[in-house]
A and B are shown apart, each in its own frame.
Chain A
């Protein structure tokens, strides 16, 4: 009997049951002789995915049960380290909360009553409901989501939506995390994102790193990726690297910083502009780099706000960098030349070959219009932000700001790294741009030790760039869409015109033009996702279509989405909700009709890299009927199209789905050059890791390499230079360029091509009803919404700490450890006071939290566990169903998850919340004796 047919027999009765049923012992026969034999110990190399990142680790099994995890000494970043989040896997993989079989809702949503069904039934049910909805309302009725922790296949959720011809996929992150910081840097420089919260910024963690000065702006790597970048930073600091940490929270990294600037939440753009002003006023910028490798000396047409092109001023001008084959684009601009004291064409060249010495700060007439240089425009924007004005606005000391700037600007090389915090504010795009601008002004680009690097094989031609998240799978370029920087208009157009299948291309266009929220926030085209609030609004109003069958591929949406109540309120509009996750979360409890069990990372087969080394995830255990994250979607998609019949074609040709575990393993074996998966698993050290030689991986100064047109390679931007003044950002607002090219989307108000100040939506200095400001961040024990069912971690951190200054606490009669009721205009929650001088008076900090114990079987009155201690009850997605309110980041639609106003009073412990160690006993791992199972599919 196969594994699947056995499980079908076992579930025929369709027993109604509470969650967490493991069917222990009912799946395979136990071999007594084996049980009585001596313990068999075996250690495997695998990877941890307890956070967004990956650490190479070694897992020791005793008789098939994972008992120990340590860092893999060959891993260059985490080395022998692993963190609490990693170790939590020993609890979460064997947690009684795991679901090991597909579960169909047996009662009403929120009842916690489930029925085990077979995978065949689950696939059929999901496909039937999706097909039914597509027949009734069209493809746009289907939508997907993921994120908030526990997603093992990043980006797959977009492809799933698109695989059903739906334009709607969203994440609680996206605009609120990842997209702004990750998409701006490539756009303005062609370099990798400088974000330290992911694996993008790698330079500081290179063995023997050259980083001598690092600014961490709104990020705490010691908490986010403790074993990897946290460990790396400790090593870096020990070697003498100076750090500036800009964070309202006194994080471990702040505590070790050379200078800590506890900026008032949400006021970061003012501080960035202050740095810019100070750097200019004190001539601290890299003049040579600014002149020849950035757009800062370009004169800007005040009417179009675009840089003047040489041809605009001199129609007969012949650009010496023109590609005779009309493939690569290298425009010539206009500058004020100091040598001739006049405006002149500014063609691209090596600095030493430049015909001009461009002025950086000036206003002159061009074609009769007073035109400023880009740097002049940026400086004027920064001019109000003196040290004193900024200190007052941002609740900082002028001297400390100056000290931080000097540390940064006077270093031989430095870099700014940012993280999640600035994405969770209304100034998300401006902050990403502003911090990048600073590095460009300082010439901290492509140097050993800086954070803004390209890190790729050296170019032979002028660098080019497509504007997709990762450029793989179901992306624009597969269908001829999207402008690629570096190519000419005619070459880009040719890609579109010559795409062979016009019907497929038209379908892709339909997805682009139908995507929700893109009338205003076109920056989200970079990730193939839409803003959560746009989806919410469409569900609620039904316009321009109503997303109504929901497939969520990971995480607890009620814990992670801003204004969680507004989401709960629309659940009655959802016809059918499918969730896949290793456990039942608040979201599955409250919203889902069907839950599909997927693997924990100890069960996964994948590959990922740590710096220049590629490692493998190894399936060292497998419980129940859990499957790889990609498999259910592909199975459901195939079955849906079978049900729909011939009038509905199957998916796009670039669909990246896989429906077979064996095929996944074969791919991995092939990656490592092993003849078979079995050989690879048994002799891992012979194949793993794959290593890119250091001299090929750590590549610097690529922009100076002379390429096939005889010019320096430059950068993969429109101008071939770094673009602190970025015309592409401006164009995005006007017609969707570069993302939707050649489709011109309706325009919206301009996105600024430079960093401008954006104040927070709610201001504690003027808000008399809610006079305190609160912000949030991560703690070392959990990642996003994961692991709240890990017993030991919850013992360490049972409830969210509300960090509060003792003077502020005293004003409200609150003592250390007291329960506090925290209220915003959206709702109230509870947290425990943690009194600390590290928090500024009038400011609060707490972690996002939710409580899976609230629907434990031991609870008398179960709740969904998302209202008690969840800061997203307080946050605001500013959803305005009737009006046109738009207090979002203009480019990405990011709303404010950090830095909004609240009030506090002494409170009480919520009824279902556990605090004492012994209370967490029901979370202790009980599935260690669960039999090891084979592939479901």
Chain B
């Protein structure tokens, strides 16, 4: 049930479907404390990203367990941990019968993944890579303090570009989705009936009030 994998392999596997990346990361974060299946199902269902997901909660947990990012622990009817049988052990079936619920906990590998893919880190990387666009990114993050349509963000970008020749040059020929996508991929924006800043994105956006 626990396959030790490398961080690179895990990152590659969890990146396989863009609609699911944040769900995996947030599920791991949630499982920093031991959680039972029902709790996790409810938690995942509350993620805005889950509305776009093409798989269910059990699938996500299965993948995280198979990749060694989560530990899956059987619980008996008293809520006690059922020891994991050795493969081929004659007691395997008997022990399986005792399991009435499952508990999940993040593993060291999962922790490493969460740390390496924190929103703060990703936004920092984005800002470091495109320093000239930081004011625009921050303006978008600040603007999305309530859900915004794509057109509203496009108008916001156009407004920013109108106020700065340098910015106008930088965004010329690029669709607004370029900036939305970058901030979404970094975890700063999420779609929830409109683009809205994430808590971590909000911290980054508040660094400057330049365009407020």
> Residues on A close to B: CB < 8 A?
104-105, 107-110, 129, 132, 135-138, 140-141, 542-546, 548, 571-576, 593
Contact = CB atoms under 8 A, between A and B. Distances in A.
B18 interface: yes
A605 B150 CA distance: 42
A593 B54 contact: yes
B16 A136 contact: no
Contacts of A573: 18
B16 A546 contact: no
Given A140-B175, A542-B178, 10 more contacts: A136-B150, A138-B177, A545-B174, A546-B181, A572-B15, A572-B18, A573-B18, A574-B18, A575-B52, A593-B54
B34 to A, nearest CB: 26
A231 to B, nearest CB: 48
Contact of A576 (B54, B178, B181): B54
B125 to A, nearest CB: 14
B17 A108 contact: yes
Interface residues of B, number: 24
A141 B54 contact: no
B30 interface: no
A920 B154 CA distance: 55
Contacts of B173: 544
Nearest to A125: B54
Contact of B174 (A104, A110, A135, A543): A543
A135 B154 CA distance: 12
B118 interface: no
Contact of B178 (A104, A544, A575): A544
**Among A104, A107, A572, which residue has the most Cβ atoms of chain B within 10 A?**
A572
Contacts of A546: 177-178, 181
30 contacts: A108-B13, A108-B17, A108-B63, A109-B17, A110-B16, A129-B52, A129-B54, A135-B149, A136-B191, A137-B175, A138-B154, A138-B175, A138-B177, A140-B177, A141-B177, A542-B178, A542-B181, A544-B173, A545-B178, A546-B181, A571-B16, A572-B15, A572-B16, A572-B17, A572-B18, A574-B18, A575-B18, A575-B19, A575-B52, A593-B54
A576 to B, nearest CB: 7
A108 B62 CA distance: 11
A16 B176 CA distance: 39
Contacts of B181: 137, 542, 546, 548
Nearest to A135: B150
Contacts of A571: 16
B114 interface: no
Nearest to B18: A575
B210 to A, nearest CB: 24
B177 A545 contact: yes
B120 to A, nearest CB: 21
A542 B16 contact: no
B60 to A, nearest CB: 11
A66 B32 CA distance: 61
A544 B176 CA distance: 9
Contacts of B177: 136-138, 140-141, 545-546
Contact of A132 (B15, B16, B52, B175): B52
B117 interface: no
Interface in B115-150: 149-150
Nearest to B13: A108
Interface string B8-20: 0000010111110
Contact of A136 (B13, B17, B54, B195): B195
Contacts of A138: 150, 154, 175-177
Interface in B164-179: 173-178
B150 A576 contact: no
A290 B174 CA distance: 48
Interface string B82-111: 000000000000000000000000000000
B25 to A, nearest CB: 15
**Among B149, B176, B177, which residue has the most Cβ atoms of chain A within 10 A?**
B177
Given A136-B180, A138-B150, A573-B18, A544 B175 contact: yes
Contacts of B18: 548, 572-575
A98 B173 CA distance: 44
A735 B34 CA distance: 64
B182 interface: yes
A138 B150 CA distance: 7
A575 B16 CA distance: 10
Nearest to B185: A542
A105 B54 contact: yes
Nearest to A573: B18
Nearest to B19: A575
A140 B178 CA distance: 11
B3 to A, nearest CB: 15
A137 B191 CA distance: 10
B122 to A, nearest CB: 14
A576 B191 contact: no
Given A132-B52, A576-B54, A593-B54, A109 B16 contact: yes
B41 to A, nearest CB: 18
Contacts of A129: 52, 54
A123 to B, nearest CB: 15
A-B residue pairs, 10 tightest by C-beta: A545-B175, A137-B177, A572-B15, A544-B174, A136-B191, A545-B177, A572-B16, A546-B181, A542-B181, A138-B177
A135 to B, nearest CB: 6
Nearest to B179: A542
Contacts of A542: 178, 181-182
A346 B139 CA distance: 63
Nearest to B193: A135
A108 B54 contact: no
Nearest to B189: A136
A543 B178 contact: yes
Interface in B190-209: 191, 195
Contacts of B174: 543-545
Contacts of B176: 138
B16 A108 contact: yes
Given A132-B52, A546-B178, A137 B150 contact: yes
B99 to A, nearest CB: 22
A137 B180 contact: yes
Contacts of B195: 136
A576 B15 contact: no
A529 B132 CA distance: 34
A576 B53 CA distance: 10
A679 B73 CA distance: 68
Contacts of A140: 175, 177
A104 B54 CA distance: 9
A104 B15 CA distance: 20
B38 to A, nearest CB: 22
A125 to B, nearest CB: 8
A113 to B, nearest CB: 10
Contacts of B59: 107
A132 B184 CA distance: 15
A544 B170 CA distance: 12
A574 to B, nearest CB: 7
Contacts of A544: 173-175, 178
A786 to B, nearest CB: 28
Contacts of A543: 174, 178
Contacts of B52: 129, 132, 575
Nearest to B21: A572
**Among B59, B63, B181, which residue has the most Cβ atoms of chain A within 10 A?**
B181
A576 B52 CA distance: 10
A259 B182 CA distance: 59
B65 to A, nearest CB: 13
A573 B173 CA distance: 21
Contacts of A107: 59
Nearest to B174: A544
B162 to A, nearest CB: 19
A811 B175 CA distance: 55
B152 to A, nearest CB: 12
Interface in B11-56: 13, 15-19, 52, 54
A128 to B, nearest CB: 9
